[in-house]
Amino acid sequence: MAKVKKMHKKAAAAVVSPPIPSKSAIYLNRELSQLAFNRRVLAQAENPDVPLLERLKYLCIVSNNLDELFEVRIASLLANNHIDGEIIEAPALSAALAIAGTECHQIVERQYRVLNEDVLPQLAKQGIHLLRDQDRNEAQRAWVKSYFDREVRPLLTPIGLDPAHPFPQVVNKSLNFIVELSGKDAFGRGTAIAILKAPRVLPRVIQLPPELSKNGISFCLLSSIIHAHINDLFTGREVLAYSQFRVTRNSDLWVDEEEVKNLRQALQGELQSRNFGVAVRLEVAKNCPPHLSQFLLEQFSIDQNRLYAVDGPVNMVRLSELIDHVTKPELRFPPYSPLYPPKLSNTDLFAVIGKHDVLLHHPFQSFQPVLDFIRSAAHDPAVVAIKQTIYRTGMNSDLMESLILAAQRGKEVTVVVELMARFDEEANINWADRLERAGAQVVYGVVGLKTHAKLALVIRREEGALRYYAHLGTGNYHPSTTKFYTDFGMLTANPVIATEVNEVFIHLTSLTKPKTLNHLWLAPFALQKEFIKAIRNEAKIAKAGRPGRIIAKMNALLDESVIRALYAASADGVKIDLIVRGACALRPGVSGLSENIRVRSNVGRFLEHSRIYYFRNDLAHDIFLSSADWMNRNLFRRIEVAFPILDPALKKRVIAEGLNPYLKDNMNTWELDSNGVYQKRKPRSKASAFSAQQHLMEVLGTPLE
């Protein structure tokens, strides 16, 4: 708190020092900030200027984000009283859960209102119908009945609850039904409750035949089909009430990495238990009778405030299947195919990289050069070794196939696979197994730290000597996310960078202390320290009367030490612009504390994912790209790398593409005020509308000079 006093010293007019502000006065609530991001995504679904199917997709994204919030953060708070290394005291824990719960209920209510009152009616006007039972005509009901009898009923197993049939295990986020029955069962007993699990092998969205949809395309939800025929499952008994329900469980995997002898085998065993972790949220239909929802709450030991009664499907994410079925280009964003940089086309990739660094900006530019970099290395007889980090890469990956081919061809292939990449554990385990069988050396990083850095290294023998070629990036080597996540990557043969990349790999595989790195900033050893050093340097410059300037773009800003350094720099006169997509704990615009700091968030067609850190440094224009956000977990509990852009021309590109357009954006940008409220930025009266992402698609869709 001494630093806080120092920040306020200049603002003090009286002799007596001002009172030390409370923590809540300095930092914004993390949960509310994260949920505010979901409100910004939800605003995209409400925006009539966004194509209709894309609006539905944004609604699905909100649901997916809330799922992960409960599966990970809320679950960890409930289970451990801490998350990301931060201990939460009991009163603060209760307050955090209450605040998050209130906000979540408001978001969910608004989300379903947008779906029912806006998006679905608009889709119907476009000939895309999501039919409930009461909406279906006689012919459609007959088809649905046939589909139920043929495809659904044979797979259903209703379970009547009694001492011999206790409440069944319910899989995480699966579709289920609770049914209340009258009378007695076939054995004369009064079993009143039955549980019905929807088969996971069946699609959740079913398209009706074209002849039954003469005025467009018609769909039914699997839940609606089961609803319509639930009485058929209980012959001789009356269904008094029923409801669909869905349980969200703690999905964080835990293994004692210091005790297990084989992390991969331990994780394989844990993956199955993820489906049956501690229940943290219950979703039911809006018309579910209170006594049935209460029964479910008791079965799952869930508090009433984590019950969500929704006006529609309990899993809105499943509506993405409807989007996939519809082929109406006018209801989607205009197609965009990223350009393959002309200078790299039909050329020897290593020859080009050997002459100068290559900067790639995804998804505005194709990710294919990175895939070609590894593929060329696999085929090139001059290449003797390939080293790669893998955090997320998906079940299907040309890049991973190239690594396997390289190993099969006898090259030294080393892959650092992060087995604890949340929700990608299974894919990474499978790749690790295939790589090892091909002869690659697979390591799993450092015990207790996730390897999150995005690095690849190719070693070629050229004229009797070894030369290093490297790729460093801000995003994952994932074939899908590279198409809709914004990220930067650099291909380089600069020996001062590439040699240090090799040192990082040696550190990861040998577990020895890394050598001193003069250009790369490596977490957990030096990254936070170097960031704070650069921030303080700008403050020193500003105090000397010269312009101090910081622009930083990231996914989240939560590290208190970095925030305190930014506050101090602001008090010293540094002009600071922060572009933070998601959660931000920094409170901007507070007199004497952060009046020189502005915070923006951009939510558009693509997910903003790149991390860019710019420090003016007396016109040296220092720029670092990184895989790390300004979060405690990135700075201390992950292997992360920040790398400098050394080429002056590429520095200008990063500023011109990654920073300036987002400071100018008045279409997709939200500005954060000192109270933690985001306001949508709008074009001023005479200003032209400007979208950073649209601008970049137009600029990078043409050949670069």
Tell me: the pLDDT tens digits for 583-604?
A: 999 999 999 999 999 999 999 9
Amino acid at 271: L
Amino acid at 111: Q
User: Running DSSP on this structure, what letter comes out for residue 666?
Assistant: -
Which of 93, 212, 38, 206 is CA-nearest to residue 142?
A: 212
pLDDT at 374 (0 to 100): 97
User: Running DSSP on this structure, what letter comes out for residue 212?
Assistant: G
Cα–Cα dist 705/702, whole Å: 9
Q: State the average pLDDT over residues 551-572.
A: 97
Give how far Cα 606 sits from Cα of 40, 364, 427, 473, 691, Å. 14, 10, 24, 17, 12
pLDDT at 236 (0 to 100): 80
pTM of the model: 0.90
Burial of 126 by CB count in 10 Å (0-12 exposed, 13-18 middle, 19+ buried)? middle
Position with higher pLDDT, 427 vs 189: 427
pLDDT at 21 (0 to 100): 56
CATH topology of domain 33-331: polyphosphate kinase like (3.30.1840)
Tens of pLDDT, residues 635-685: 999 999 999 999 999 999 999 999 999 999 999 999 999 999 999 998 887
Where b means 16+ CB within 10 Å and e means fewer, 474-513 reads bbbbbbebbeebbbbbbbbbbeebbbbbbbbbebbeeeee
CATH topology of domain 522-700: Endonuclease; Chain A (3.30.870)
How many other C-beta atoms can be found within 10 angstroms of the C-beta atom of residue 349?
Answer: 19
pLDDT at 303 (0 to 100): 92
Domain with CATH 3.30.870.10 in the chain: 342-516, 522-700
pLDDT at 527 (0 to 100): 97
Q: Is 452 a catalytic residue?
A: yes
Asked whether residue 609 is marked as a ligand-binding residue, the answer is yes
Tell me: pLDDT of 555 over 90.
Answer: yes
Asked whether residue 274 is marked as a ligand-binding residue, the answer is no
Domain with CATH 3.30.1840.10 in the chain: 33-331
Asked whether residue 485 is marked as a ligand-binding residue, the answer is yes
pLDDT at 99 (0 to 100): 85
pLDDT at 106 (0 to 100): 97
Cα–Cα dist 546/618, whole Å: 8
Which of 362, 452, 471, 695 is flagged as catalytic?
A: 452
- % of the chain surpassing 90 pLDDT: 74
Cα–Cα dist 418/160, whole Å: 43
Tell me: pLDDT of 286 over 90.
Answer: yes
pLDDT at 606 (0 to 100): 96
The residue written with tokens 């003016």 in the block is 616
Tell me: pLDDT of 246 over 70.
Answer: yes
**Beta-sheet pairing, 159-160 with 128-130:** unpaired
Position with higher pLDDT, 286 vs 22: 286
Tens of pLDDT, residues 79-111: 765 544 455 566 667 777 888 899 999 999 999
Cα–Cα dist 344/249, whole Å: 47
The CATH code for residues 342-516 is 3.30.870.10
Q: Which residues contact 694 (CB under 8 A, 6 or more apart)?
A: 667
Give how far Cα 302 sits from Cα of 32, 76, 77, 280, Å. 22, 15, 14, 6
- % of the chain surpassing 70 pLDDT: 89
